Amino acid sequence: MNATPHREATIESLDHEGRGVAHVEGKVVFIDGALPGERVIYRAYRSKPKFEVGEAVRILKASSRRVTPPCPHYGVCGGCSMQHLEPGAQVAAKQRVLEDALWHLGRIRAEVIYPPILGPTWGYRYRARLTVRLVPSKGGLLLGFHERRSSYVAPMDECRILPPNVSQMVPRLKALIAGLSAPDRVPQIEIAVGEGIIVLVLRHLLPFTAADEASLEAFAAAEGVQVWGQASGPDSARRLFPAEAPGLAYSLPEFGVSMAFRPTDFTQVNMGINRLLMRRAMQLLDPRPGERIADLFCGLGNFSLPIAKLGARVIGVEGSDALVRRAAENAAANGLAALSEFHAANLFEATEDSIDALGHLDKMLIDPPREGAVAVAKALGPKAPRRIVYVSCNPATLARDAAVLIHEKGYVLKGAGIANMFPQTSHVESIALFERA
């Protein structure tokens, strides 16, 4: 489809993806890179009968909240799409996204809006997956995230949302991959950072040669990192160099627990915000000795262990057998095995019987993926817990599930607020408290 001519628009608001929203000739227009109150010239790259999607090509009148994006890859790289908006305004916009989703999708308003959970706006990302492509026409090996609206790789020499020591390593990492025997057969690199440990997991479609292994070993020694190989699925990831090294872990000092994890396990990318989110979650849940509390979508025990540490018995449920084992191992390593139990189950197929099978529950914490937990919400029956803390990474599915809890199950939304887990992006992490009316 040919692009439409450049047009002028006045931006009214931001949508849930951080795009400016305007109305032009009866159509709603979503404009990348535009901010509320601005007058812009935009070019549409998608046009439908009732809406258009475009990008700002010139700012005629700039918002007072506009800042110069500090990242040299802004506008090409598909990440960090909101860095042209000052950080405080980003947070306010995310709070509006949460409140709008609750009202427009669920017809719900929280009794209390919690203060936002905030942390550093750069250098926060302790997990990342970089794509590798060999493109001779673009100068050789490309390493980075995908370009905006494209499957192409945006060339990257640094990434300011990664910890500085990892960001500074990017050019040397690119040179390492380019020097391997088959650089075109290393499609991605997963980065996982623990406390004092950096792990690089190289996905490789062909075995490494002896020369490759020598290069990887030298890189690991020079950079002070662990290099792992992954020949197939995540479970195939194995440490290559150094041969002996400590495992990854992160701590929650406020609760005196430490979580061991593999570099391919799911963990929160922003450890600073995770600690603050944990504090908020435990304040709202208020675990007490003698209580039985379910932690659904428990992963490797991120919320389960603090619940047990505070004296309640936790029943963790997770779909991944590997993560269930990791959660049990973490509980045992922290001396919490007697107050915890973990089960593997598909919570997307939860029923009233399967929830009741967990036994009497005083409270519940739910931390689902983007798909949400609508099956769990619908499965709650007369024996459901009186209090639910819901941690969400998708305001739309939170609103949908909240509508079930409130309009069908008799809960009240006591409070909700955001955690700025992903600064510079439009991603909205939130936490909500539900109680029986």
Selected catalytic residue, list 102, 201, 393, 432: 393
Residue 61 CB coordination number (10 Å): 10
Residue type, 4: T
Report the alpha-carbon distance of residue 291 to residue 312 in Å, rounded.
5
Q: For residues 74 and 65, is the Cβ–Cβ distance under 8 A?
A: no
- For residue 52, list its beta bridge partners: 29, 47
Q: H/E element holding 230?
A: strand 226-230
Q: H/E element holding 122?
A: none
Q: Can you say which residues are annotated as belonging to the binding site for [4Fe-4S] cluster?
A: 71, 77, 80, 159
Q: For residues 365 and 293, is the Cβ–Cβ distance under 8 A?
A: yes
CA distances from 75 to 170, 198, 367, 391 (A): 19, 28, 32, 31
- Strand residues in 3-78 grouped as ranges (E): 7-10, 13-14, 20-24, 27-32, 39-47, 51-61
Whether 298 is a known active-site residue: answer: no
133 is written with which tokens?
């492509």
Q: Can you say which residues are annotated as belonging to the binding site?
A: 71, 77, 80, 159, 268, 297, 302, 318, 346, 367
> Which are the catalytic amino acids?
393
